[in-house]
């Protein structure tokens, strides 16, 4: 057994591009997010204030938005793209507008996603593009498709519009040779997303992996779904691409299951989720020569496991089919140490109008306050680095 490991506690590398002032501001925000009550109160109040038209966008933009988002436009993200690139970390521009309902909104979002793909073209600092189906499709239609309900004429028209937008995005990605992720969402719409993702992969992944689906490993049955998806790709002769995540909707999923009296789709505890995630990584690594995967997690153990196994198997750190990814503003110790050791790593950099990014920011706040130890780890590392700098 190899004793090769990366030092993810190396705060000098993790925060090399952060000034003392930036670190202190980051510390203050994580301190706030460490309190579930204050975190929920702060983000709910912000949402309410924005709905009333109160002038608080500037305050949000200069605090939590600045920590977790690249800007309001692609142009505002340029500094972040450049700064991450200087540390050999890629940027994934994530247009964080969701929950819209008009066809006009969906078309505008589709056009913006295409702009991110075009911006990424030929820029090694932007290895992937990404989109959410709820940005380009009505929630109700996705629910009906997932439940395999018979569609009326109106829903059928909406379904055709969804397919058209999705095809246009993936066709653009294919034409520009620019890989694109389809993000995972709520379990009650995920079946439709999975089927559409498989259709896009079968259409555009014949020569190489362009379209990636996302699998949330905190859900029951997803390891089997991963294996079946890869087998389907092999049988039908296309490359399978997958981004593996634990998941970001745990509380919402459990609440809905309880309210509607069905069995929760979420695994019972953290250890079973960890076990499923690590088994998925092992499975993808076994097939890494034909298919591509992304280890998208803030869990140090899952990152280290893959690093060690790649080393043991003699797989190059920069193998083009294996990627790591974390969210902008979080998990810097993982991203920067991985990049410093030659691994392929990128950050999800959300952007969009402040008012539209609030749902995303609320999820980040909830995720950080509910994931055991996440905020504590972030705070501890910032404290360690500030102390190290004072002593030097």
CATH number at residue 385: 3.20.20.220
Q: Tell me how many domains the chain contains.
A: 1
Q: What is the DSSP string of 26-58?
A: HHHHHHHHTSHHHHHHHHHHHHHHHHTT-S-HH
Looking at the domain assignment, is residue 24 inside a domain?
Answer: yes
> Which has more confidence, 105 or 365?
105
Whether the per-residue pLDDT at 141 is higher than 60: the answer is: yes
Confidence tier at 62 by pLDDT (50, 70, 90): confident
**Confidence band for 234, pLDDT divided at 50, 70 and 90:** very high
Mean pLDDT of the chain: 91
Whether residue 43 has pLDDT greater than 60: no
Q: How confident is the model at residue 100 (pLDDT cuts 50, 70, 90)?
A: confident
More confident site: 170 or 365: 170
Q: Is residue 327 assigned to a domain?
A: yes
Has residue 6 been placed in a domain? no
Mean pLDDT of 91-114: 92
119 Cβ partners below 8 Å, 6+ apart? 74, 93, 126
Task: Report yes or no on 196 lying in a domain.
Answer: yes
CA distance 385 to 13: 10
Domain-located, residue 242 = yes
The answer to whether residue 43 sits within a structural domain is yes
Compute and round to an integer the Cα radius of gyration of the chain: 20
| pLDDT in the model for residue 250 | 85
- Percent of all residues in the chain with a pLDDT value above 90, rounded to a whole number: 78
* Confidence class for position 119, pLDDT limits 50, 70, 90: very high
4 lies in some domain: no
Spatial distance between the Cα atoms of 276 and 265, rounded to a whole number of angstroms: 14
Average confidence (pLDDT) over 356-373: 66
Host domain of residue 137: 11-391
Q: What is the pTM of this model?
A: 0.93
Q: Provide mean pLDDT across the span 308-323.
A: 98
Structure tokens belonging to residue 28: 């203050």
Query: CA-to-CA distance for 112 and 116, rounded, in angstroms?
Result: 6
| Residue 375 maps to a domain | yes
């Amino acid at each position: 057994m190899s004793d090769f490991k990366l030092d993810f506690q190396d705060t000098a590398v993790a925060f090399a591009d952060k000034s003392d002032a930036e670190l202190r501001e980051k510390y203050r925000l994580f301190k706030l997010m460490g309190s579930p009550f204050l975190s929920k109160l702060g983000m709910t109040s912000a949402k309410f204030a924005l709905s009333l038209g109160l002038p608080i966008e500037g305050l949000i933009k200069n605090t939590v938005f600045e920590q977790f988002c690249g800007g309001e436009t692609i142009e505002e993200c340029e500094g972040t793209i450049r700064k991450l690139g200087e540390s050999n970390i890629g940027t994934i521009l994530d247009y964080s507008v969701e929950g819209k309902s008009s066809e006009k909104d969906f078309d505008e979002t589709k056009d913006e996603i295409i702009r991110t793909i075009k911006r990424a073209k030929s820029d090694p600092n932007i290895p992937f593009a990404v989109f959410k189906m709820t940005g380009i499709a009505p929630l109700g239609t996705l629910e009906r498709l997932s439940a395999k309900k018979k569609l009326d004429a109106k829903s059928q028209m909406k379904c055709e519009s969804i397919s058209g937008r999705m095809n246009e995005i993936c066709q653009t990605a294919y034409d520009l040779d620019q890989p694109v992720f389809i993000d995972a969402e709520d379990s009650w719409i995920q079946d439709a997303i999975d089927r559409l993702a498989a259709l896009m992969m079968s259409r555009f992944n014949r020569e190489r992996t362009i379209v990636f689906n996302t699998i949330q490993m905190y859900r029951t049955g997803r390891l089997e779904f991963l294996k079946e998806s890869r087998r389907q790709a092999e049988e039908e002769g296309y490359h399978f691409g997958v981004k593996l995540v634990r998941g970001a909707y745990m509380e919402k999923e459990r609440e809905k299951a309880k309210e509607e009296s069905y069995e929760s789709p979420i695994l019972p505890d953290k250890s079973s989720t960890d076990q499923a995630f690590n088994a998925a990584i092992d499975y993808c690594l076994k097939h890494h020569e034909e298919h591509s995967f992304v280890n998208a997690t803030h869990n140090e153990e899952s990152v280290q496991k893959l690093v060690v196994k790649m080393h043991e198997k003699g797989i190059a750190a920069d193998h083009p089919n294996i990627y790591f990814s974390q969210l902008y503003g979080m998990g810097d110790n993982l991203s920067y140490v991985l990049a410093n050791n030659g691994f392929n790593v990128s950050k999800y950099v959300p952007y969009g109008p402040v008012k539209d990014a609030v749902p995303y920011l609320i999820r980040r706040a909830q995720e950080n306050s509910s994931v055991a130890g996440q905020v504590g780890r972030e705070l501890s590392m910032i404290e360690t680095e500030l102390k190290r700098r004072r002593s030097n």
